[in-house]
Structure 1
Amino acid sequence: MSATQSTNYNIIVMSDPQPWRLDLDNNDPNDDQSRWESTIKKVRDSIQLLHHEKSFVFGIINGDLTEFGRRYQRESFRSFFAPSPLGFITYVGLGNHDYQNNVGDCSEPSNSDLSMNACARGMVFDMHYRIEEYRGYSTSGNFRYDSSEYSGSKAYSWEYGDIHFVQLQNYPTYHVVLDHWAASTINVTDSIDWLEKDLIQARNRNKTIILNFHDGHQHFPENSSQEELSFFKYMLEHYGVKAVFVGHTHYVGQDNRYGGSEIFGDVPVYNSGALFKGDYLSVGVNGSQLSIAVYNGLSGQPQLIEQWN
């Protein structure tokens, strides 16, 4: 742990900004840039106001950084959220709208790429280059990653204070081959084997572990074998994972409040809702303990909705 790192600090956990989707009538998520940017500016302003109060060390955004993986949507996202327009750095992961939904279904004529995998490939490349940047951040203690330019799960992990944070992207078993008629094939692999090695190292350093990924309840169980799900649950229990943060549903909630999940066991699962609806979580870290507050910022002010202890 760096001497400049504290064991008591605040972070913010978010998900699903999804430019240009809105929770409004007649929304066209592929063309509604101005209304999305007007709405999301208020949300961004509320986060900055809360940052003045809580001094967030960093933020985490768990997937669906775009609605359809298009370059212009990526640029809208960057202008508001990453890498640092909020006043602090953000670690991000990909969601189904960023690549899974776009496999064989989205070209980028504006970027002179007519491959039907262009949007998905663009998001994966973007994630790879972000990981390269994260390696140099002062908040990225013991940074590890599973990424090369054309392969890997793009999972990564870092440590700050007593906490080991892991970003597993869409979901831990997601994998896909993204070919291209005129460029090298991208092989996105699952992160299960990488995750086990990462958790072993974190426990050997006596770190408290927090997992992040996008979709914990739909495509993860639908597209994984029972053996994979059972092994994932075993790892959470065996290596003492403290909490899991997800998005995808667009609803804020404590998704495993009473434990007993077939996927997560007794590990608490927190859903951060959707930024396009104004939702986000403020997480206070005190050593290995977490205090979580739900906020909504659609008004431009950070409105406290609920406190989870």
Structure 2
Amino acid sequence: MTIQSEPAEGPIDPGLSAIVSERRQLTNLAYRLLGSLAEAEDVVQETYARWYAMSPSRREAVESPGAWLTKVAGRICLDLLGSARARRERYVGAWIPEPLPDRAEWVTGQAADPADRVTLDESVSMAFLVVLESMTPAERVAFVLHDVFCHSFAEVAEIVGRTPGACRQLASSARRRVRASRPAAAPTARQAGVVRDFKQAWEAGDIDALIGILDPGATVTADGGGVVDALLVPLEGAEELARYAAALIGKAGGLTLLERTVNGQPGLIGQRDGVTEVVMAFDIVDDRIRHIWAVRNPEKLHPWREEPQP
């Protein structure tokens, strides 16, 4: 599970190529560390602002601009993670990482959008990001930088402000959390089949079929951000969840369910008059749905939004 730098698109001034080509990598790093596309883009902008705030002579003295940019972005993210815990304690309801569409499916259509610069793989699956949320800021930074982006512990230590040995322990602790909470994922085609079965049973209001698709301890977590009506606490249990889903689809007149890729995994979106109102990600274990994350906060749905046609 590694992320490699990708070349920037289009012609670039050779003198700036070493800097500009890192933008995609920085966005990938910041999104995995923060779970927010908007915050990731802010981090990248701030990182470049600090680079260009230096005098030309200081910039020329930097041996590896990419390493410098990564170090600054990592430190900014570490600071943000510390303050994010306090912010999310005040958040209305559950906080879920911002969902990302597949590059071919997002609807805003602007090539410069940061959503087009995030590589979708298992390290951005919703289940993976939720596990990252359970870590301390230092654990998360050490693990993501080392295990996902292949930085040495010496490099990680410069960002986290601890010894390489301490960073190794942080990453090891984070790795154990990931392994304990994430069984081996089923092939994508099988996951897509389970999601499709769930969609069809939900649209039909078939409670028995829903219960058969859900793990007995299945949980649904919704994020409305206090902006829209949503569950304020997770709902647990296959039967309770199935009855809730059946009742919900009965009330949601005009809502169209569509199969989409959500953070690199099969998922669903709910649209009304062509506008996406909810994005659902799934954790599927042994061909049953173990967890559903439903994002309804409009602030987290910008890459999915499309204005209705007249």
TM-score, normalising length: structure 2: 0.28
Higher helix share: 2
Larger radius of gyration: 2
Higher strand share: 1
TM-score, normalising length: structure 1: 0.28
